[in-house]
Amino acid sequence: MLGLVALGLTADAIGRRLGISGRTVHKHLEHAYGKLGCADRLSAVLRARELGLVAVDPPAGAVG
């Protein structure tokens, strides 16, 4: 999910891709923020990149 956030997708767009609601995406992200010790999307993505959990450069054609 953080990989999709890193691509710049909104919670609603992520939800559509995964077949879940945008609210469910928000809850999953809240849990990820807590585990990463972050308070927002940007901090979580940066921390996940530092830990090697999210690719620094997205694959070609990944957004859309």
Tens of pLDDT along the chain (64 residues) come to: 999 999 999 999 999 999 999 999 999 999 999 999 999 999 999 999 999 999 887 666 665 5
Rounded to 5 degrees, what are φ and ψ at 34? -60, -45
Q: How far apart are CA 32 and CA 42, in angstroms?
A: 12
**Backbone conformation region of residue 48, classed left if phi is above 0, alpha if psi is from -120 to 50, else beta:** alpha
- Prediction pTM value: 0.81
Specify the CATH number of the domain 2-50.
1.10.10
Domain ranges of the chain: 2-50
